[in-house]
Structure 1
């Protein structure tokens, strides 16, 4: 089964005029956004010329790009495929932002990729930092998280630096930021948006789906999730989405390198797995039925467990799921009876899913 790396290799001699930009290209750039461009791509304040992938490959800081990604080997393999590709080898890069603020509980990063007459704003999802995990959890009880505000500021800035078409996208939290920033962008900016790609992204605490800004761009929102999606089904979501086959099981499907690509497109499925549907229903029911104060307490419990066990990736979560489950059951003892009951059921469901995954 092929993946996005195979896709880049297969279409390396085909430019964007010959094969227009589409969803798999969006996922390639969403994964690209996880690379560390700190010493390589100009920041928003630098006011410097665009750089190319070739420039990055020749930098003395080349290897640093991949060190903090979830899969450094596959990340470098993707970069090398892009470098050798006529399709991606000619893209230009600028306006890199990477912000971590533990006090504000904020993790935000974005980069703008230029191709043909268009700009793709790629928002990074949750990275390997603890503050990134914390901000993700905070979405369950905070209406607007700091990175959403930053994403809105970013698209406004980029729109003033460019004149052409705009694409937006991101994986995980990055997809949420793409939808949020498009929703609250100026109407003139919205008119320039071609597509908004959301790859297995969590939804929103507050329902933005009736906002005027959202209704103006909803026809351009393209949401993709794997068939055992968990992250991409959390909170208030888009009603329409595409289901993609993955080469792995369970929560590990959040890894975009596992999404199956054949003949220039994703391999699509008709339905989510039933165990995924049940778990998502339980999670969202729990979130809906407890107060913001209890959500915050629950988030703090889970966050302490993650820090204690030094969990930074989905793989590490799977490896430590017994400790996580035990820690949650201990931590919720002081919470309401209904919350304890719901959390116990959730932990049980996660247990069965992990058993199925082997």
Structure 2
């Protein structure tokens, strides 16, 4: 099966005038905000847009020829290759980039990044970066479960308002992958009504959901029909908390948690290969995680998040790459920090990790069973022919 890299080969020579913007274009542009365009693309209100081809050339000039560009532990390594193909294509090469923001406060555990793309069809795509390699970014993901609003959501809303003022005549598309999808939906729901009317679509690509009360708000109802939620068949991240029930399920060539990687999503022509529903095990995992979250009082959730990241912070790591680089030392520091927690908090952490491990194992096993079915069917047919 094919993925978005194959799509760039197939459709890269077609402009948006020849083949209109689609869901795969959305995923590509949502991944683009993971590229570090610092000092290449201007921040909001500080300069003219730059052509994607030029931005790509400037980005790659930072590295030696043949040097591997490390995107971190969880950010797909294919993103630099994706950028190269975009720059070489008629479809994306002449798009223009502006309003790049990359903000990190390690002390407060806050992370936010976004990029605006002028797509050339009279519209903008505001791409919100999802969870990156930083522990600060991951902390905010967990805080979504215990806080009505996290700092990144406030920044996303502010960002939409700034971009809307800078480009007063443009229609807007908002989108992101993982946490970026959550930020796109949040900003689309809470931006001023005049800005909301300019929004053509909001894309959440396997982004976590929200607390139930947000879905009942009139601001959400006004834009609900323009929100497109896409999740892989064994989604865990995109099924967290409450979400729009009318979501699209896409096929993936990976198993378990690895399906969160958008580069594993299967593409056919100008759309994703879709399924009727998420897998049975993904549904069970969703129910189990929701039950665990809902049973825990809000104060206890906040205490849990503090405990989890105090354990990770005891290693001195700032990113997941830091943890991976010196894993032996990190494991020792985390074990010591875990031992210092009170029993209730420690048991809660262990239960959560157990749910995640069990969920992933179940989905991997289910995926293996699905892969075996065609082989078993062919084997059965062969046996019938022989008999």
Alignment match of 1:161 (pick from 163, 166, 173)? 166
Alpha-carbon distance between aligned partners in 1 of 2:126 and 2:281, rounded to the nearest angstrom: 34
In the alignment, is the contact (CA less than 8 A) between 2:282 and 2:359 conserved in 1? no
* CA pair 341-87 structure 1, distance change in 2 beyond 3 A: closer
Say if 1:200 and 1:244 are closer, same or farther in 2 by CA, change over 3 A: same
Render the CA deviation track for 1:75-106: whole Å, top value 9, x for unaligned.
12101111111111110000101110123321
Pair 209,78 (structure 1): closer, same or farther in 2 beyond 3 Å: same
Hey, what's the Cα distance between the residues in 2 that align with 1:148 and 1:14? 35
Please list every run of 5 or more consecutive structure 2 residues that lacks an aligned counterpart in the other structure: 369-387
Q: Distance in 2 between matches of 1:90 and 1:348?
A: 44
Moved more, 296-305 or 1-10: 296-305
Give matches, 1:227-266, under 5 Å.
227-266=233-272
1:207 alignment partner, SS class: helix
SS of residue in 2 equivalent to 1:68: coil
Greater alpha carbon shift after TM alignment, 252-261 vs 302-311: 302-311
Rounded to whole Å, the distance in 2 between the matches of 1:337 and 1:131 is 21
Q: Please name the residue that 1:104 is paired with.
A: 108
Q: Would you say the 8 A contact 1:51–1:92 is kept in 2?
A: yes
**What residue is the counterpart of 1:21 in the other structure?**
21
Q: 1:277 to 1:236 in 2, by over 3 A?
A: same
Query: Does the CA-based 8 Å contact 1:286-1:339 persist in structure 2?
Result: no
Matched, 1:83 2:90: no
Query: CA offsets per residue over residues 149-170 of structure 1, 9 Å max, x none?
Result: 0011010011111112110000
Structure 2 residue aligned with 1:170? 176
How do residues 329-340 of structure 1 correspond to structure 2 at under 5 angstroms? 334-335=343-344
Number of residue pairs matched by the alignment: 351
> Contact 1:151–1:181 at 8 Å: present in 2 too?
yes
State the distance in 1 between where 2:89 and 2:176 align. 22
Q: What CA RMSD, in Å, does the superposition of the two structures yield over aligned residues?
A: 3.1
* Separation of aligned partners in 2, 1:349 and 1:287: 16
Structure 1 partner of 2:57: 58
User: Could you tell me how far 1:61 is from its partner in structure 2?
Assistant: 5.5
Q: Secondary structure at the match of 2:7?
A: helix
Matches within 5 A, 1:171-250: 171-205=177-211, 207-250=213-256
Match of 1:68 in 2: 71
Q: Residue 152 of structure 1 corresponds to which residue in structure 2? A: 157
Structure 1 range deviating more: 128-137 or 220-229: 128-137
Deviates more, 1:273-282 or 1:343-352: 343-352
How far apart, in 1, do the equivalents of 2:53 and 2:352 lie? 50
Shift of 1:205: 3.3
- Is the alpha carbon distance of 1:331 and 1:259 closer, same or farther for their aligned partners in structure 2, counting shifts above 3 Å? farther
Number of the residue aligned with 1:312: 320
Q: Report which of the two structures shows the higher radius of gyration computed on alpha carbons.
A: 2
Going from structure 1 to structure 2, the CA distance change for 1:331 and 1:274 (only over 3 Å counts) comes to farther
Shift of 1:60: 6.5
Which residue of 1 is the match for residue 376 of structure 2?
none
C-alpha distance in 1 between matches for 2:36 and 2:254: 26
Tell me the residue number matched to 1:346.
355
Gaps of 5+ in 1: none
Tell me the residue number matched to 1:5: 5
Check whether the contact 1:207–1:236 (CA below 8 A) recurs between aligned residues.
no
- Is the 1:172–1:199 Cα contact (8 Å) retained in structure 2? yes
Give the direction of change, closer, same or farther, for the CA distance of 1:304–1:258 in structure 2 (3 Å limit): farther
- Structure 1 stretch 207-216 or stretch 71-80: which is displaced more? 71-80
CA gap 1:179/1:298 in 2 versus in 1, 3 angstroms: same
Q: Which residues in structure 2 correspond to 1:278-297 (within 5 Å)?
A: 278-297=284-303
Deviation string for 1:199-239 (max 9, x for gaps)? 00011235211111111110000000001100001112111
Q: 2:140 aligns to what?
A: 135
- TM-score using structure 1 length: 0.88
2 CA distance for matches of 1:257 and 1:10? Answer: 15
